[in-house]
Amino acid sequence: MRYMQTETELRRDLAACYRLFDWLGWTELIFNHITVRLPDRGTGKAEYLINPFGLHYAEVTADNLVRITLDGEVTDGSTHKVNRAGFIIHSAIHAAREDAHCIMHVHTTAGCAVACKEEGLRHDNFYSAMLYGDVGYHEYEGVTTNEDEQPRLVASIGARHHLVLRNHGLLAVGPDLPTAFNRLWTLQRACEIQLASDAGHGPNRAIAKDILVRVPETRVAGRADTNRLIFDAMLRRAGIGR
């Protein structure tokens, strides 16, 4: 997967993913981003695809995705604008992480709600247990438009694959798009269940630490081939073609 895919194939997958996010209700007007790093074209500059600023996720197609460098330079002749906040967050992590081929950032209700809680995400449900030891936190610094925040973002996620942006939202990275999607879906689901369990009567039941440390290692849905099956199944369910 990853670099075995051509730019054309990655454009199709990424555009389909934007429309899948719309189907799932993970959209926020014209904001937020999913980015995918592209294969090296021999230009000496790393490049990735990002959504055109001003279009709803439902309007994103393989042809109107914008190819940009880590410096924000448009390299495919697109006349679309790129949102600066998306450039600041995504370019920082793409540049810092060799394995960060796909980055997804959302402002879902459940994700934002958990991000606003002092305790953050608890590892006491089926899905949050899968993320034990793999969730970072980044303090809120306002709308992310300043380049000087980039090193702190990178430090906050470290080598982890999930990031809770305090008072803000959720972010997931992966070595390919289907893996990043499954990671974000799991993080989102964990947040939804935490909110639902907190609304119920009585205390929540903790999971023993000796169990928690073993759960991520046995997670079948973390395998690359399974992630691709999940992603393709969701596209079929939503009636989304590539």
Q: What is the mean pLDDT of residues 40-67?
A: 95
- Model pLDDT, residue 221: 54
Please say if the pLDDT value at position 58 is more than 90: yes
Q: Domains (ranges, CATH) in the chain?
A: 2-238 (3.40.225.10)
pLDDT reported for residue 234: 98
- Identify the pLDDT of residue 1: 43
68-94: pLDDT as tens digits: 999 889 999 999 999 887 788 999 999
Q: Identify the top-confidence range among 40-49, 194-203, 221-230.
A: 194-203
Q: Given this model, what pLDDT does residue 224 score? A: 81
What amino acid is encoded at 238 in this protein? A
Choose among 18, 25, 117, 10: nearest CA to 59: 18
pLDDT at position 6:
94
